[in-house]
Amino acid sequence: MSSKFYVTTPIYYVNGEPHIGHVYTTAVGDVLARYHRLKGDDTFFLTGTDEHATKVVDSAAENGVSPQEWADRNAKAFQDTFTRLGMSHDDFIRTTQDRHKDKVQDYFKQLLDCGDVYLGEYEGWYDAGQEEYIPENKAKEFGYKSPVNDQPLVRKAEKNYFFKLSAYGDSLLQLLGSGEVFDVRPTARKNEVVARIREGLNDVPISRTGSGDWGIKVPGDDEHTIYVWIDALINYLSTVDTPERRYYWPADVHLIGKEILWFHAVIWPAMLLALNKLPGNEWMKLPRLLYTHSQWISEGKKMSKTLGNFIDLAQIDHYVEVFGLDALRYFLTTNGPLGTTDSDFAEAKFIEVYNTDLANTLGNCFSRVSNMTGRYFDGRLPKPGPEPQTGIDQEHDRTAEHAVRDYHRAMQGLELSKAADAAMGLVRAVDGYIEATQPFQLAKQDGKLPEVGTVLYNCAEALRVASLLLWPFLPEKIEALWRRTGCGHYADALADRGKGELDQWLTWGQCKPGTEIMKGDPLFPRFQPAKV
C-alpha cells in the first residue's frame, strides 16, 4: 500500500563547507527517501542551510566578505556536494530565501497572537557556537564551556520575546509517554528528554537584540531579530506550506544529530502546539518521529581540525574517487552512528567493509552468475528446469520472501544496517546455493545442462530481488547491474525521483529466459591497498 512520506535533515550552518557529518545525515535521509519512492510512496525529502547564525557573520568578516556573500558561497558548496553525491532531495531550503523569511514572520506574528509570547529580559549563559541559551544548572554541569566545541560560555543580558515553554511540559510528557502522535527514538534519547522535562521547563527567548542586521526581524518590532533556532526549526514547515505541498505535513521523520535533540524534541513540538491552537492552523500537527543519531568520530578520536583527523570535503571526494560514490554511501549508512553509540570513520574499516560486502559478496556473486551464463548458455538467461539434488533448502521464493520481510521491518525501524544485511544475506544464500549445487561440475556431466539452467535462473532471480532491496543504498551500481541484466525498466521508472512498484517487482519468477546477461567490468573491483 502506498502513502506519503516526508523526511527531513537538519538544515546546516553555512559558516563553513560541508563535512562528513552533514553528508551522513543527508545520506541516511536519501536512503529512506529512495526506499519510500521504490515502494511507490509519494515522497518528499528536504535538506537545506541555516544561514542567520552569528557564526556566519563572524566567519564572513574573517574572510572579508558580507554575510550574504559568505552564506551564498557555502550554501552553494552544500548544494554542489549533495548533487555530486547523488542525493535525491526534492527541495533545498535556504533560510535567507524570501519564501522562508515571509513564513517565519507570518508564524511569528501568529505566536505573538496565540497568547504564549511575552516581552522579558534574559540574563544567563549563551553558547555562541551552538547559538543556544544554557540554563544555570546545565552551564555548571558543563563547567561553563560549550559541550560541543569546548569554548567558554558567554554571559548575556538582553531584552527578548519569550515563549511560554513552561506551559507545555505536561502535554509534552503525555505525548512522549504514549509515542503515538509524536515520538523520539532511540528510546534512550527519549528517556533523556523526558527526564529533563520532568526537571521543569523554563520559558525560552525567541528573539534577540543587538545581534545586528543579519536575521529576520520580529514583525512590528525592528529592534528584535527572531532567534536563529526559531527561524531554523520553522524550515520544516515553511517549505511545505504551499497549497500543493501541505499534504506532506506532518513530517514522518526528522533526522537529527544528538546535540540538537532539545530544540527538536521540546521547543519545536511546543511551538507547533501553540500555533495549532489558532483557528485555521489545525493542519500544523506534530512531526511523527524525531530520529536522533550519534556522532562520527575519526580514527578513534573526536573529529577536530587541529588533530587533523577531520573528514572534510577533500577527504570525502578522495573516498569517492578511489572507491566510488556507492561505496561511500554504503559505508556511511550501514556502519554509521544511527544508534546511541558513536561510529569510527577509519580507513581500514572502510576498506574491510568495501571488500567484504561489495567486492567479495555482491560483486563477486554477480560475476560468477554472469560468467557461467556466458560459458554455458551463450550469455542468455536459461529456462528453469529440474532442480539438482542437494541437501540444502531449495525453496528459493521462500528464502527471498524472508529476506524481503526482514528488510522491510528493518527499514521501517530505521535500522539501515540490518536492512542492507537482509539483502546481502540473500546474496550470500546465492553463493551457498552455488556451492551446494556445483553447476560447474554439473555442466561437465551428460544431460545435466537443464539442471545448470535451473541453478543459474534461480541465482539470477535471487540477485534481482536482492538488487531491488539494495538500490536505495547503491543506486548507481544497481542501475548499472539492471541495465546489464534486462531490468533497465526499473532504472527508468525510478529515474529523476520516479516511483517504483516494489511489491509487484519482488514477485518471484520475473526474470525472462533468453534475456542477455552482460558481464561487463566488475561492479566493485577488489580494493588493493597499494592504491591509496
Question: What residue number has its CB nearest to ligand ME8?
Answer: 21
**Residue 10 sits in the site that holds ligand ME8 (CB under 6 A):** yes
| All residues at 6 or more sequence positions from 150 whose CB lies less than 8 Å from its CB, including other chains | none
- Nearest distance from C-beta of residue 17 to ligand ME8, angstroms: 11
Q: Which one of 40, 67, 205, 257 is in contact with ligand ME8 (CB under 6 A)? A: 257
CA angle, residues 139, 144, 145, in degrees to nearest 5: 110
Instruction: Give the pairing of strands 204-205 and 154-163.
Output: antiparallel
95: nearest Cα among 65, 67, 66: 67
**Residue 21 sits in the site that holds ligand ME8 (CB under 6 A):** yes
Judged by CB under 6 A, which stretch of 196-204, 219-227, 255-263, 472-480 contacts ligand ME8? Answer: 255-263
**Residue 24 sits in the site that holds ligand ME8 (CB under 6 A):** yes
19: nearest Cα among 255, 346, 259, 316: 316
**Residue 363 sits in the site that holds ligand ME8 (CB under 6 A):** no
Return the C-alpha cell found at 117.
509570547
Residues in the interface with ligand ME8 (CB under 6 A) total 17
Q: Binding to ligand ME8 (CB under 6 A): which residues in 273-302?
A: 295-296
CA-to-CA distance for 237 and 48, rounded, in angstroms? 13
Q: Which is nearer to ligand ME8, 96 or 458 (CB)?
A: 96
CA-to-CA distance for 479 and 349, rounded, in angstroms? 26
Q: Write the binding mask 33 to 62 for ligand ME8: x where contact by CB under 6 A, - elsewhere.
A: -----------------x------------
Q: Which one of 5, 6, 7, 11 is in contact with ligand ME8 (CB under 6 A)? A: 11
| Bond preceding residue 250 cis, omega within 30 of 0 | yes
**Residue 25 sits in the site that holds ligand ME8 (CB under 6 A):** yes
Core vs surface per residue 444-471: b (16+ CB within 10 A) or e: eeeebbebbbbbbbbbbbbbbbbbbbbb
**Residue 232 sits in the site that holds ligand ME8 (CB under 6 A):** yes
**Residue 233 sits in the site that holds ligand ME8 (CB under 6 A):** yes
Instruction: Give the pairing of strands 289-293 and 253-257.
Output: parallel
**Residue 12 sits in the site that holds ligand ME8 (CB under 6 A):** yes
CA-to-CA distance for 375 and 279, rounded, in angstroms? 71
Q: Which is nearer to ligand ME8, 74 or 485 (CB)?
A: 74
Judged by CB under 6 A, which stretch of 11-19, 388-396, 472-480, 516-524 contacts ligand ME8? Answer: 11-19
**Residue 260 sits in the site that holds ligand ME8 (CB under 6 A):** yes
**Residue 303 sits in the site that holds ligand ME8 (CB under 6 A):** yes
CA-to-CA distance for 330 and 2, rounded, in angstroms? 26
CA distance between the termini of the chain: 46
Q: Which one of 13, 92, 182, 490 is in contact with ligand ME8 (CB under 6 A)? A: 13
Q: Which residues are at the interface with ligand ME8 (CB under 6 A)?
A: 10-13, 21-22, 24-25, 50, 232-233, 256-257, 260, 295-296, 303
